[in-house]
């Protein structure tokens, strides 16, 4: 029994922090948030764990790039000397669940006894400091868009597809058409899901925005809820203007018991599954579903011997509504049940790649209060990376670790052929999906069409803001634009312009 307990991974401590400084100069940077979160996790586990760490893994941060490699400096601050110490290569939303799964597998394999995982983002403080230095509006310093724009403009960026908020709507609009929903029905679903997020956040002392919002308030554009990228308003997208850190400690059951942690505070780590889409979002098979997501969620259920009915809680990643919409359909999770334990990336807070560390904390706290099992689904990149795992109050008989979580081959087999891409195509075609991008004052900037030509090749085209009828066709909900036919023609500036057959 002692040998078996030495290879059973359990979460023993969780911690998180919100930093709301009176002035930007007083705010913690990302490393300071990581330290505060880890110390809180250590205290939650009874203290004394940092000196025992064999493994320290951090989610990369983008707020203070000059910090560079943060894992070594954090270990030093914590008085830890882990044999394995690193940060992820980039700040992607699946990172915390990937690192949790890796830590659990290493414990189950007998490689380590104690691990810590976490991260932090001080995007609010970074933006305020940058604005103070430049003497302008801090809201203009969008770290995610700036990070995406540091490279030379690409073909995709010519058509406005730069940041995640420009690209996820392609999934939203394609999904709505595939689900057979009207625009009003799809928006209502988004409002219902997000309103429930806000109610969870209202009850969560660690959420960034603790205010309940109705579905109608989420759906309706207003001065405080401006349109961002059709059909998303501000209250439907991740709120990255936060200073948040979160972390958790995973140990063997033997270590937990030796440290005197009561069984009722332990949460067992089950098996996980990961699968991804191609990095280039224009090289995806489709936009109304994700084979990688489907494989990740379904395999995790099978590996742990559970169904959606066995789950008391879920966290379905929520950077934009299309993700939990797709995920809940794969999982079989009803819209009437909250799809978060933390509050979602709008209300709980959207600290770039580290949100799911907060979700881990939230699920552990929920399971300590009651319930048996919970599922965490993480998404990262541009609807690219998918990683799912199950946590439980009791050992999961079917979830014995270690277990390989890479199911990429299965996702690749499930994926259909990827259409060729026809750059600067001009000619007849049909809309595969689309969005409309907006200025900060709510005026349309232009529409973006992802189309298919008669040979099945994919292409991009714009709908100029001056084409009011064309913008209206894409946004008024009277007719479904997906599938509508038209013509791509060369514009005066060299970009391709879309002309619908009928508006």
Q: What is the pLDDT of residues 443-472, one digit of tens each?
A: 999 999 999 999 999 999 999 999 999 999
Q: With cut-offs at 50, 70 and 90, classify the pLDDT of residue 151.
A: low
pLDDT at 503 (0 to 100)? 44
- Tell me the average pLDDT across 386-394: 98
Angle of CA points 27, 241, 160, to nearest 5°: 140
pLDDT in tens, 223-273: 999 999 999 999 999 999 999 999 999 999 999 999 999 999 999 999 999
The pTM (predicted TM-score) of the whole model is 0.95
Q: With cut-offs at 50, 70 and 90, classify the pLDDT of residue 141.
A: very low
Give the start-end residues of each E strand in 253-341: 267-276, 313-316
Whether 2 has a pLDDT exceeding 80, the answer reads no
The three-state secondary structure class of 480 is coil
pLDDT at 134 (0 to 100)? 83
Whether 1 has a pLDDT exceeding 90, the answer reads no
Phi/psi of residue 146, nearest 5 degrees: -65, -40
pLDDT at 149 (0 to 100)? 47
pLDDT at 24 (0 to 100)? 78
CB under 8 Å to 139, separation ≥6 — which residues?
127, 241
Q: What is the mean pLDDT of the chain?
A: 94
Beta-sheet pairing, 9-18 with 243-252: antiparallel
pLDDT at 26 (0 to 100)? 87
pLDDT in tens, 163-213: 999 999 999 999 999 999 999 999 999 999 999 999 999 999 999 999 999
- Tell me the average pLDDT across 91-111: 97
- Tell me the average pLDDT across 382-402: 93
pLDDT at 23 (0 to 100)? 87
Domains, the chain, ordered by start: 2-124+241-414 (3.40.47.10), 427-500 (2.40.50.840)
pLDDT at 132 (0 to 100)? 85
Higher pLDDT, residue 351 or 492: 351
Question: To which residue do tokens 């690219």 refer?
Answer: 384
Mind giving me the DSSP string for 61-73?
-SS-GGG---HHH
Q: With cut-offs at 50, 70 and 90, classify the pLDDT of residue 401.
A: confident
> What is the share, in percent, of the chain residues with pLDDT greater than 90?
90
Instruction: Please give the C-alpha separations between residue 234 and each of 73, 227, 350, 418, 452, in angstroms, as whole numbers.
Output: 36, 6, 13, 32, 30
CB under 8 Å to 483, separation ≥6 — which residues?
177, 430, 431
């Amino acid at each position: 029994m002692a040998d078996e307990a030495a290879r059973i991974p359990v979460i023993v401590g969780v911690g998180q922090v919100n930093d709301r400084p009176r002035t930007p100069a007083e705010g913690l940077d990302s490393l300071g948030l990581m330290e505060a979160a880890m110390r809180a996790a250590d205290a939650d586990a009874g203290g004394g764990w940092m000196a025992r760490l064999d493994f320290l893994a951090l989610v990369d941060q983008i707020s203070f790039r000059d910090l560079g490699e943060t894992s070594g400096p954090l270990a030093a601050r914590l008085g830890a000397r882990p044999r394995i110490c690193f940060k992820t290569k980039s700040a992607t939303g699946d990172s915390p669940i990937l690192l949790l799964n890796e830590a659990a597998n290493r414990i189950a394999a007998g490689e380590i006894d104690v691990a810590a995982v976490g991260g932090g983002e001080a995007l609010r403080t970074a933006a305020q400091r940058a604005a103070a230095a430049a003497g302008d509006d801090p809201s203009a310093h969008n770290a995610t868009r700036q990070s995406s724009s540091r490279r030379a403009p690409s073909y995709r960026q010519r058509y406005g597809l730069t940041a995640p908020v420009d690209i996820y709507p392609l999934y939203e609009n394609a999904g709505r058409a595939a689900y057979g929903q009207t625009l009003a029905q799809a928006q209502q679903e988004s409002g219902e899901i997000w309103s429930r997020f806000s109610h969870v956040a209202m009850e969560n002392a660690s959420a960034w925005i603790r205010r309940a919002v109705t579905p109608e308030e989420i759906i309706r554009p207003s001065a405080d809820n401006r349109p961002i990228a059709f059909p998303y308003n501000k209250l439907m997208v991740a709120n990255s203007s936060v200073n948040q850190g979160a972390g958790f400690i995973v140990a063997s059951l033997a270590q937990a018991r030796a440290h005197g942690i009561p069984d009722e505070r332990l949460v067992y780590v089950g098996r996980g599954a990961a699968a991804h889409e191609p990095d280039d979002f224009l090289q995806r098979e489709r936009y109304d579903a994700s084979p990688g997501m489907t494989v990740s969620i379904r395999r995790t259920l099978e590996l742990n011997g559970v169904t959606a009915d066995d789950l008391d809680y879920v966290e379905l990643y929520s950077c934009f509504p299309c993700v939990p919409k797709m995920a809940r359909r794969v999982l079989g999770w009803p819209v009437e049940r909250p799809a978060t334990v933390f509050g979602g990336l709008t209300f709980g807070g959207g600290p770039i790649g580290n949100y799911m560390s907060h979700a881990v904390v939230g699920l552990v706290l929920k399971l300590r209060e009651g319930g048996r099992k919970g599922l965490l689904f993480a998404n990262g990149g541009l609807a690219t990376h998918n990683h799912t795992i199950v946590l439980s109050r009791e050992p999961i008989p079917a979830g014995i670790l270690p277990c390989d979580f890479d199911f990429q081959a299965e996702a690749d087999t499930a994926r259909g052929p990827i259409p060729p891409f026809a750059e600067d195509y001009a000619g007849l075609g049909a809309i595969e999906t689309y969005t409309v991008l907006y200025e900060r004052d709510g005026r349309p900037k232009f529409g973006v069409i992802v189309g298919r030509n008669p040979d099945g090749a994919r292409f991009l085209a714009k709908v100029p803001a001056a084409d009011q009828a064309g913008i209206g066709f894409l946004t008024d909900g009277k007719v479904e634009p997906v599938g509508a036919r038209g013509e791509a023609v060369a514009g005066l500036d060299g970009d391709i312009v879309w002309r619908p057959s009928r508006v």
